[in-house]
Every structure is written in C-alpha cells, then in structure tokens.
Amino acid sequence: MEDAVIVSAVRTPTGKFGGNFKEVPAPDLGARAIEAALERAQTSPEEVDEVLLGCILQAGLGQNAARQASLGAGLPVEVPCTTINMLCGSGLKTVTLASQMIRCGDADVVVAGGMENMSRAPYLMPDARYGARMGDTKLLDHLTFDGLTDAFEHYHMGVTAENVAEQFGITREQQDEFAAKSQQKAAKAIDDGLFKEEIVPVEVPQRKGDPVVIDNDEGPRGDTTAEGLGKLRTAFQKENGTVTAGNSSGINDAAAAVIVMSASKAQEKGLTPLATVESYASVGVEPRIMGIGPIPATRAALAKAGLELRDIDTFELNEAFAAQSLAVRKELGIEEGRINPHGGAIALGHPIGASGGRILVTLLHEMKRRDLERGVATLCVGGGQGIAAVLRNGNGTSSNGG
C-alpha cells in the first residue's frame, strides 16, 4: 500500500477577533495558504487531484468555501473540492482523509488543511422566513451557536471545560499557570523567529493606501503572568468556577494548508518529505467532557502504529482550554517538556476550522528543526470527539523548504 507523505506545510498568521483579518473572508486566507503550500512543494496547480479544507462557520460565505479557496489559489476548475466540518478537528481530519485517498490509490496529490474567519461570522434570524409576523424576534450568533455551543447539552464549550476540571481535579491555579506559560513560550518563539518558516505573510487591502503585510501571530502576550490571570473573573460558572477568558483559547482567524502526496510521486519529483502520515484515529467521548477526546484518540492512533507513548518525541495538543489540556497531559502521562514547546491555542489562537491544520504545521516544522523522529498532533472536538495523527519524520533536510 502506498505511503502518504507531507511535502510542504504552511499557515497564515493567526489574527485576533476583530483584528488584522476582520475584513478578509476565510476563503481568501485559504487561497493564500494553498498558493504557498504548492509553491514550497514545487508542485503546479495542475498536478493537484483534490482539495479538502475544513471550515465551520460557513453561513454567508457562499457555496463550498473550499472550492472558493481552490479557484482563488489558481487551481484548475477540473480539480474537485470538499469542505469538511468536524468542528475543531476539521483541519486534521482533511489530512487523514487525504492520506486514505492516497493509500487507496485514488489520488497522488491532495491539498488538505483548514480556514476560518471567526471575526466575520454573521448573525442569523431563524424565525424570519416563516414567522416573526408581529412583535420581537431573535438573532442567533452564528459564531457561538454553531461554533462554540454544545448541540446536546445546549451550553457553551467553556462549561465542558468546567466539567473536565471538576472530574479530573484541575485547579484554577494550575490552569492559570499553564495559560501563562503558553503565552510566554509563544511570545519567545516569535521573538526567536521560530514560526517564520511555517508562516506565509498575508497582504490585507486597506481602504486608503497600500496593503498591510501581516507576517506574525497577533495574539501572544509575553508579559502574561499566572498572578495576573488569577484576577480575572470566571466566564462560565459563577460559583466555584475555574475557567476564565485568560485560561481559554481565543476566537481567531487563520488558514493552514499541507500538500499530501504519494511517496512514489514525491520520489519522482525529487522531494524530501517533511513526514510520513504513519497512523491516525478519530473517537467519540461524552459531549459534556469533550475536552478529554485527545486521550483515547492518541491511544488509538498509537495502537494502530504499534507504538507506545514513549516512542513519541513531541506532541502538539490543541489548547482549547487549560483545564482539558492539563487533564490530557495528566491522563496520558506526558512530561511538560514534550508537549507544545512553543505554546498553543491559548496564546496562538483557535480558529476552529483551521486549528487542526495549524497544530500539524507547527508540529512538522518543530520535528524538522530538531530532527525528531516522531510526533503526534491531537485535538478535542466539540460535541464529544477527539482526533489524533502520528507523523514520522522524513529524516532529511527538505529540499523544498517545507
């Protein structure tokens, strides 16, 4: 069976809610990531067999956001495109689907990844079409309703983090310390230029004057301290609550793209892969504690590859909340130094449809930089799921620059 390899991996900078990318539609961010990923992979648009992109907040975007991004990146109209919605796991799910296509012999070159602009999510009027004949009506926030609210318990994702904190004995102090370290590590990584290779700059048009080039993540704050975070009010549970805006991930805008290719195609093109997609797994868990999803997902992915936790050199865990990140680390027994060495979503942000792609891109570049043999990318997923993938280093200096 043909191996699926990743020959390039890029992401846009991550913008804050209402920040640098508030006027840039998600498909435009996706198009920029696709362009750069293909360029770095020394692959022409005509060589692409399919495009798979995650995107959650699709209301008002127009038909098939992935198709828009593909054509925006200059791919031929003959290339089919699919938009994937697995909530937070979407950007990584596209990579597992691409790998399956390649292993089955259905494709040689697949663009995978995700995109999201949470800043541009519209408000919805569900009663307007057939009701609302008199009196007041209601608006639904597409962002919170379709992106951040559990469809079964009908409460915010932050409440699921409170549930995890209570069940696993995670204190407010532990969460604030974790969040502060995430901010500090991410800010240091930016200062040290560690994200430069994985980020593709984005030109943002201005109403007057030349476009502004955005080439750095907007969110990280290196001056964050646990003491400062400890002064914030709890956001989701007033009595005995522990989860705050400071120890939760942000609301963000970004895109990420990777080029998944058959090993034989990469060899034919003379490309050194960043990594081989060794195994992957998706699982379901109780929606009320959705944050534990990475625990069984990681175990399942490792079991498929015949590996143990000790075989993994580094982990990228999406930090939806400090509470669930700490629970995952605790239950899997992962040492602090092996997980999110340069911070995570609490600092860098969580653009839901793009996050799976973002953590994978960061993981691949960290493995390349430090010549690490194996890494795991994993995310919890709203509604009670988890996803994980095991990547094996291509073990060579990438001639295509990643």
Q: Given the residues 81, 142, 342, 350, select the one marked as catalytic.
A: 350
Which runs of E-coded beta strand occur in 4-87?
Answer: 4-11, 15-16, 50-54, 81-84
Residue 81 is among the residues annotated as catalytic for this protein: no
Q: Given the residues 88, 142, 342, 365, select the one marked as catalytic.
A: 88
Q: How far apart, in whole angstroms, are the C-alpha atoms of residue 265 and residue 47?
A: 10
Kindly give, in sequence order, each residue whose CB lies less than 8 Å from that of residue 242, ignoring residues fewer than 6 positions away: 162, 165, 170, 171, 172, 175, 234, 323
HSE-CB for 342 with a 13 A CA cutoff = 24
Q: For 129, which DSSP code?
A: T
Residue with tokens 């995109």: 115
Kindly give, in sequence order, each residue whose CB lies less than 8 Å from that of residue 246, ignoring residues fewer than 6 positions away: 176, 179, 224, 228, 229, 232
Q: How far apart, in whole angstroms, are the C-alpha atoms of residue 352 and residue 361?
A: 15
Q: H or E element: which one contains 256? A: strand 252-262
3-state secondary structure of 121: coil
Q: CB atoms < 10 A from the CB of 209, how many? A: 7
136-153 as b/e, with b when 16 or more CB fall inside 10 Å? eeeebebbebbbbbbeeb
Q: Given the residues 81, 142, 342, 380, select the one marked as catalytic.
A: 380
Q: How far apart, in whole angstroms, are the C-alpha atoms of residue 7 and residue 54?
A: 19
Q: H or E element: which one contains 322? A: helix 322-332
Residue 88 is among the residues annotated as catalytic for this protein: yes
Per the CB < 8 A criterion, the answer to whether 148 and 156 are in contact is: yes
Q: Catalytic residue numbers?
A: 88, 350, 380
